[in-house]
Chains A and B, each alone.
Chain A
Amino acid sequence: MITIKNISKRFGKLLALDNLNLQLHQGECIALIGPNGCGKTTLIKSILGMVLPNEGSILFNEKDIRNDNEYRRNIGYMPQIGRYPENMTVGQVIDMIKGIRNSNEQTDEELYTQFEIGKMLHKKMRTLSGGTTQKVSAILAFMFSPQVLILDEPTAGLDPIASEILKNKIIRAKSKGCLILITSHLLSELEGIASQIIYMQDGKLIFHQDVKALKTATGQDTIAKSIVQLLKRDRA
């Protein structure tokens, strides 16, 4: 569904992405992990067209995304830090994105109801807590039932209940055949959600593996342990 071919991205002297190749398929939930500054966000932003790679190309459904913006109709993006214009109300933000998407399809209101956002439509974005802002971002990402979901640290800042609601929503989206790309520092959060792991370091791909295969290969029962095991073995 998404093919990443030899992309490299330089920010001045820093090589943020180093000749990266990836194949991302439908129905997978892929966890993107790696140390801080390893290029995860740059990769996500490249897929979204926010960062323009120096070399290589990204194909979305076999089509090059360069100079295209319509492919983003199929992507729902939840940023790590959502900041919205201060005086816009929650209702206005949601209306605006609906207006931009201009789709006649029925929108997915499930998260909207579960997070009980209906009560605070008139509240200004400035007055919301970090967690509530994250809820708004999550609603916007899932609202148009996109084929691809890109979630950057989705549960950071959410309370345990909201975080559980979001996790269940992610699992349901996966079973409907979405491709989900998720970054998280909490490996335990990914347990039960992720079906594949991409591990990056210094802009390079270290491995891209199936979670089950990874666990069997390392003989561990959790994602966290198997990754630690694998990295130790690599270093040795």
Chain B
Amino acid sequence: MRRILKYVILDIIKNKTVIAYTIMLSLFSWGTFALEDNASKSLLSLLNIVLLIVPLMSVLFATIYVYNSSEFIELLVSQPVKRSKIWNALFTGLSISLIIAYVAGVGVPLLLFSDTGTALIMIAAGSLLSAIFVAIAFLSSILTRDKAKGIGISIMLWLYFSLLFDGLVLFLFFQFSDYPIEKIVVVLSALSPVDLFRILVLLQLDISDMMGYAGAVFEKFFGNQWGLLISFSLLVLWIIVPFYLSLKKFKKQNL
């Protein structure tokens, strides 16, 4: 697997889209920190940008890359390697490359301008978020053979997690505000990796009024330490589950 992985990373790192993505992220990060005196304010603006762009880029780029690699995957399958190794190598290669882009673009200015604890959490959570959306991309690209459909599914999932989800939770809350539904909301927030990311960073920043509804309830329930730990574990789970499902399907896929 390592032999395939090495060349996959070498290929993606040289990809123009990934280079442009890195430059764009670093422009945004340097820009927000330079324009704003208050570091935590700029962190919040950056957080909102990251929450939109990182998932979109990861899910779209990974989906397109997997479809474009279909002949390459066939060639690898004709070699004496297990299918799971090929799928693993592609996934790890894509995740590592996008994480490198994220750390280079967002991580470096974060470490320079904000406090180390917050910066490290942002870097860790952002890296996880990249890998999560690569995993989601693998799942949507294995669900259909049609490239346009696959990209469509990916965009719909991004839209759902990035924009619709918190709105839906809020809607539920107002509809059922007469009932004690806090517990349900906590469970619901685990269903969106983007919300988990937001909660994670805002727990660290301790600004619960910015947290969105799910986040506020989360803090109330778990407090800081537990909240961090649980949301991190949930993020990891968000990588494992979609990827495992896609791997299971890929093993039986007709290429």
Q: Tell me if A's interface is mostly helix, strand, loop or mixed.
A: mixed
Chain B residues with CB under 8 A of A70: 80
Q: Once bound together, how far apart are the Cα atoms of A83 and B71, in whole Å?
A: 6
Q: Once bound together, how far apart are the Cα atoms of A48 and B69, in whole Å?
A: 18
Q: Does A52 touch B at the CB level, under 8 Å?
A: yes
Q: Does B81 touch A at the CB level, under 8 Å?
A: yes
Q: Once bound together, how far apart are the Cα atoms of A137 and B74, in whole Å?
A: 12
Chain B residues with CB under 8 A of A97: 79
Contact A87 B15 (CB under 8 A): yes
Contact B82 A69 (CB under 8 A): yes
Q: Once bound together, how far apart are the Cα atoms of A160 and B71, in whole Å?
A: 25
Chain A residues with CB under 8 A of B69: 85
Q: Does B159 touch A at the CB level, under 8 Å?
A: no
Contact A73 B80 (CB under 8 A): yes
Q: In the complex, how many residues of chain A place their beta carbon closer than 8 angstroms to a beta carbon of chain B?
A: 33
Q: Which residue of A lies closest to B253 (CB)?
A: A52
Contact B74 A79 (CB under 8 A): yes
Q: Which residue of A lies closest to B79 (CB)?
A: A100
Minimum distance in angstroms from B132 CB to a CB of chain A: 23
Q: Does A88 touch B at the CB level, under 8 Å?
A: yes
Contact A45 B75 (CB under 8 A): no
Instruction: Out of A83, A92, A100, name the residue touching B76 (CB < 8 Å).
Output: A100
Instruction: Out of A11, A48, A84, A137, name the residue touching B77 (CB < 8 Å).
Output: A48
From B5-13, B38-46, B186-194, B207-215, give the one contacting chain A: B5-13
Q: Does A213 touch B at the CB level, under 8 Å?
A: no
Chain A residues with CB under 8 A of B120: none
Chain A residues with CB under 8 A of B8: 85
Q: Do A50 and B255 form a contact, CB below 8 Å, given A77-B75, A82-B75, A87-B14?
A: yes
Chain A residues with CB under 8 A of B6: 96
Contact A45 B7 (CB under 8 A): no
Chain A residues with CB under 8 A of B75: 77, 79, 82, 84, 137, 140
Q: Does B226 touch A at the CB level, under 8 Å?
A: no
Q: Do A50 and B77 form a contact, CB below 8 Å, given A87-B14, A96-B4?
A: yes
Give chain B interface residues in 210-255, CB to chain A under 8 Å: 252, 254-255
Q: Tell me if B's interface is mostly helix, strand, loop or mixed.
A: helix
Q: Does B175 touch A at the CB level, under 8 Å?
A: no
Chain B residues with CB under 8 A of A100: 3-4, 76, 79-81
Q: Does A81 touch B at the CB level, under 8 Å?
A: yes
Q: Does B171 touch A at the CB level, under 8 Å?
A: no
Chain A residues with CB under 8 A of B80: 69-73, 100-101
Chain B residues with CB under 8 A of A27: none
Q: Which residue of A lies closest to B71 (CB)?
A: A83
Q: Do A52 and B78 form a contact, CB below 8 Å, given A85-B72, A87-B14?
A: no
Q: Does A49 touch B at the CB level, under 8 Å?
A: yes
Chain A residues with CB under 8 A of B12: 87
Chain B residues with CB under 8 A of A87: 10-12, 14-15
Most buried by B among A11, A69, A70, A72: A69
Minimum distance in angstroms from B72 CB to a CB of chain A: 6
What 1/0 mask marks residues of chain B from 75 to 99 whose CB sits below 8 Å from any chain A CB? 1111111110000000000000000
Q: Which residue of B lies closest to A80 (CB)?
A: B71
Contact A101 B79 (CB under 8 A): yes
Contact B71 A50 (CB under 8 A): no
Q: Which residue of A lies closest to B8 (CB)?
A: A85
Chain B residues with CB under 8 A of A75: 78
User: Would you list 8 pairs from A and B whose C-beta atoms are within 8 A, ordered by A residue?
Assistant: A51-B255, A69-B83, A82-B75, A83-B68, A86-B68, A87-B11, A88-B10, A100-B80
B interface with A by C-beta (< 8 Å): 3-4, 6-8, 10-12, 14-15, 68-72, 74-83, 252, 254-255
- 5 more contacts with CB within 8 A, not counting A49-B78, A50-B78, A81-B71, are A70-B80, A79-B78, A88-B11, A92-B7, A92-B11
